[in-house]
Chain A
Amino acid sequence: MPLDTITSKPKLKLAIYWGAACGGCCVSVLDTHEKLLDIVAAADPVFWPIAMDIKYKDVEDMPDQSIDLTLFNGAVRNSENKRMAQVLRKKSKILVAYGACAYMGGIPGLANFFTKEEIFRRAYEESESTLNPEKIRPVPEYEVPEGKLEIPVFFNDVLPLNKVVDVDYYIPGCPPQSERLIEVFTAIVTGAALPPKGSVVGALEKTNCDECKRKKTDNKKVKKFYRLWEIQDDKETCFLEQGVICMGPATRGGCGVRCVEGNSPCRGCYGPPAACSDPGAKMMSAIGTMIDADKPEEIDEIIESIVDPAGLFYRFSLPGSILGRKLS
């Protein structure tokens, strides 16, 4: 059923919130272009900080379960993100982790390669543009003559949404393709049978490689890995076969392989495919098969050419991966 034929139904209450996010996910909702009019025809946004002025207190005052659908984007990095995740969980019938950060930690999750102390030292003492001879650090509570000032507590870890509250569905992507959002939204509005709780929706079960139009052979052999700028991409052969790391084999399809279509290797923003919990493990498995050497020294040399495997394989998923963070 197209969205515009269902506007006679009682309107859904919709909330869109951002945790530790860049704002891109909220923009991806606006990127539905004229379809946005259909969305607001079928649903009343009751809370959406990027677009409307409603205070947290107003949300806390809403009756429990009174929001039909909440799209939570962004990771959980501080006590404010966590508190709002808990409030929205209580107020919402369906809570969706929307986008790579809420799903697996996303780009902000790369901060899990560092500790809070390392991040604060860099940001408040060492960065080239910082002038802070007294080494003042932000504190969560501060007494001033007028009273007590409070800011959120910065956690040591970035967490995906499901580490702090129950999540009903996940929509992957950095940001999710707007078309996928429309599909999921339409299913919810029309009351179509929803998939089991915990499902990844708005994406495929298969990998990006299954969808990719580049020429590929089953038996890939690679003698050296290159960064994209080191080779002349022929624009038709699989990136991996040209020796450029492409996250296609470890990434869920659904975006239309849009980066490869634009002649850039996939970076893995849709997260791991079905039945795989860790994109890096999947990637190491795939690359282990392709490395064209049997002697330990030769293998070492080829692996040497993969700069920063941890950052490359877990660019969007470090907090949601098996190891979750770098040990301190």
Chain B
Amino acid sequence: MKIALTVNGRPAALDVAPRTTLADCLRHALGLTGTHLACEHGVCGACTVIVDGAAVRGCLTLAVQADGAEVTTVEGLAGDGALTPLQEAFRRHHALQCGFCTAGILTTLHALLTENPDVEACEIREVLSGNICRCTGYIPIVEAALEARAAYRRGGDPAQ
């Protein structure tokens, strides 16, 4: 099926089989391998991307369902190569080690903080329960998210 979508601000026209997931489409057809896949059934969160502002599982969304949509992957968070305030906070707090889970955590938190820059620590923890990290422990990740709230409160899209 022919689809047209915008990925990280760039238009993409593709021909995909209906069974292709959005995550596979991003990785294989568009070469955007920052989006990771592990469980492929919604449990681990590694594949999370942003579709029309909402964080979604790339492994549970069909590419054809993103027809006409605006998709943001981890590659699209930092527009001009500089780290976003959220990414900066991850670096400062050592909120990643191997980085496998990080793309999905950044996209999830970016959507969450954009939706609600005042989100409280308990909700951040609840949301992060949907992203499995086997390296760092979650405390630095929560701390990074809490610190990044200030940048989202200042308005605008801190990712741009």
A is bound by B: no
Q: Which residues of A does B touch, CB under 8 Å?
A: none
